[in-house]
């Protein structure tokens, strides 16, 4: 069985390839995906379909060139921490942003069970006004 670190790394590798199926592959049906208050898709989304619709698809619709660049990936057993940067250009304003971000992942029984995002929402909000 793959480790939590390997499962999260596979998600980020799929993200780098723009492979949506790969990004969703290990998200459990009951995964609680939490986007930070103040972020465009803030809230708790449950399961891969909600994550796709309310996070990945929504951000792709609102921003040109929306990316996450992983800088460091830390192994904490069943938890994994990803550190990096978001960037993109908000379509309605034409303004770009770059913001630091930390992702906290929890994995159990070979599936991602919980994700929580911490980011500088002000930088994103500034691009949106």
Q: List, for residues 46-79, the tens digit of each pLDDT value.
A: 999 999 999 999 999 999 999 999 999 999 999 9
- List beta partners, residue 115: 33, 105
Please state, in angstroms and rounded to a whole number, the distance separating the CA atoms of residues 26 and 44: 18
Strands (DSSP E) along 42-78, which ranges? 43-46, 63-76
- Confidence (pLDDT) at 59: 97
What pTM, to 2 d.p., does this model score?
Answer: 0.95
- Average pLDDT across the chain, whole number: 97
Mean pLDDT of 6-17: 97
- Residues 51 and 24: beta-carbon distance below 8 Å: yes
Residue holding tokens 């698809």?
57
- Give CA separation, 67 vs 58, 60, 96, in Å: 13, 9, 12
- Check residue 39 and report its DSSP letter: S
Q: Are 7 and 112 in contact (CB under 8 A)?
A: yes
């Amino acid at each position: 069985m793959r480790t939590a670190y390997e499962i999260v790394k596979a998600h980020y590798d799929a993200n780098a390839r723009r492979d949506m199926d790969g990004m969703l592959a290990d998200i459990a049906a009951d995964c609680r995906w939490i986007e930070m208050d103040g972020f465009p898709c803030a809230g708790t989304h449950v399961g891969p379909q909600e994550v796709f619709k309310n996070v990945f698809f929504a951000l792709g619709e609102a921003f040109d060139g929306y990316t996450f660049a992983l800088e460091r990936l830390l192994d904490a057993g069943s938890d994994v921490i990803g550190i990096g940067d978001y960037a993109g250009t908000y379509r309605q304003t034409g303004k770009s942003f770059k913001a630091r971000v930390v992702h906290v992942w929890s994995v159990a029984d070979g599936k991602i069970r919980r994700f929580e995002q911490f980011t500088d929402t002000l930088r994103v909000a500034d691009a949106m006004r």
